[in-house]
């Protein structure tokens, strides 16, 4: 091993994975940097400190300097494990999503649709519980241990559908986009409500009052019909919008799966 001018670990030769050294370490494909006694600072400790900071104060609080301070080490010492802040973000995201739950056994009652629903809701629960992950930009396809495990679970849910691998990939990208968009909107709304200092129900009521002042039956007939319905004051099911969107995606996929499962015509 050798260390570059900012202290980041450099490979003596290309390992062939195309991954940064820190991600190879996360996969267990690279030894700890440097020689001599085993250091007290490790990549898992760095990531754990960064995740704790993000959970407590948000992603804006996470910097190499601040993480180093939390660990009681110099900022330069972090660069022996993580070459850049962006790499740390990727590792934080992987730690945040964690290991995906196993898919339930498939049966007549638990087919591909139920398996994908289970996968989508599990992914959504993780993002809702760790909303700081949503503030990390997606800069590359999944290539970390936990992210790849989530990808594998989603693809495996469609193992018996007859869909092509490309179609399976497109499906989990579509569902993953719904999950992330819905979780991001929920997190943004909650942040706004917290900053306003009012209860969620009061915030909704105020929004309805504002719309009624701005929109009338002649200028905005469709919005008026919406306000006159129970869309804002109905059952209060927090999962309605997500469930509706996911069901429509699965409804659209169902005819294609049925076509692939149908026996060939004689």
- Give the whole-angstrom CA distance, residue 159 versus residue 110: 13
CATH of the domain at 82: 1.10.10.60
The domain in which residue 83 lies consists of 2-97
> Are 65 and 20 found together in one domain?
yes
Over the chain (266 residues), the average pLDDT of each successive run of 10 is 34 64 81 56 94 95 96 93 93 96 71 94 96 92 93 94 95 97 91 84 88 93 91 76 95 93 61
Q: Are residues 158 and 256 in the same domain?
A: yes
Record the pTM: 0.84
Q: Are 123 and 179 in contact, with CB atoms under 8 Å apart?
A: yes
Q: Which of 72, 97, 122 is the last residue of a domain?
A: 97
Instruction: Read off the CATH number of the domain in which 186 is found.
Output: 1.10.357.10
Residues 31 and 1: their CA atoms lie apart, in Å, by 10
Asked if 145 and 93 touch (Cβ cutoff 8 Å), the reply is: no
- The whole-number pLDDT of residue 139 equals 85
The pLDDT value given to residue 232: 81
Backbone angles phi, psi at 9, to 5 degrees: -70, 135
Q: Are 67 and 78 in contact (CB under 8 A)?
A: yes
Does one domain contain both 135 and 242?
yes
Last residue of a domain, which of 97, 126, 157? 97
228 in any annotated domain: no
Cα–Cα separations (whole angstroms), residue 254 to 12, 53, 116: 51, 43, 12
- The number of distinct structural domains making up the chain is 2
Task: Give the model's pLDDT for residue 12.
Answer: 40
């Amino acid at each position: 091993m050798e260390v570059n001018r900012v202290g980041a670990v450099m490979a003596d030769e290309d390992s062939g994975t195309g991954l940064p050294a820190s991600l190879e370490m996360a996969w267990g494909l690279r030894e700890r940097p440097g020689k001599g006694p085993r250091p007290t600072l490790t990549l898992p400790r760095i990531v754990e400190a960064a995740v704790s900071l993000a959970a407590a104060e948000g992603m804006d609080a996470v910097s190499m300097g601040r993480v180093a301070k939390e660990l009681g080490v110099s900022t330069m010492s972090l660069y022996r494990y993580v070459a850049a802040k962006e790499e740390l973000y990727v590792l934080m995201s992987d730690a945040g999503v964690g290991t995906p739950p196993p898919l339930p056994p498939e049966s007549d009652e638990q087919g591909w649709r139920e398996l994908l629903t289970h996968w989508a809701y599990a992914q959504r629960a993780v993002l809702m519980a760790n909303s700081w992950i949503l503030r990390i930009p997606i800069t590359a396809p999944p290539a970390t241990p936990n992210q790849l495990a989530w990808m594998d679970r989603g693809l495996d849910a469609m193992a018996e559908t007859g869909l092509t691998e490309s179609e399976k990939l497109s499906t989990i990208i579509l569902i993953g986009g719904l999950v992330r968009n819905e979780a991001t909107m929920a997190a943004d709304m909650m942040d706004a409500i917290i900053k306003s200092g009012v209860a969620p129900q009061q915030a909704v009521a105020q929004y309805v009052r504002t719309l009624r002042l701005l929109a009338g039956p002649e200028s905005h007939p469709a919005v008026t019909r919406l306000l006159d319905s129970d869309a804002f004051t109905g059952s209060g099911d927090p999962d309605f919008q997500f469930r509706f969107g996911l069901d429509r995606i699965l409804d659209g996929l169902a005819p294609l799966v049925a076509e692939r499962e149908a026996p060939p015509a004689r």
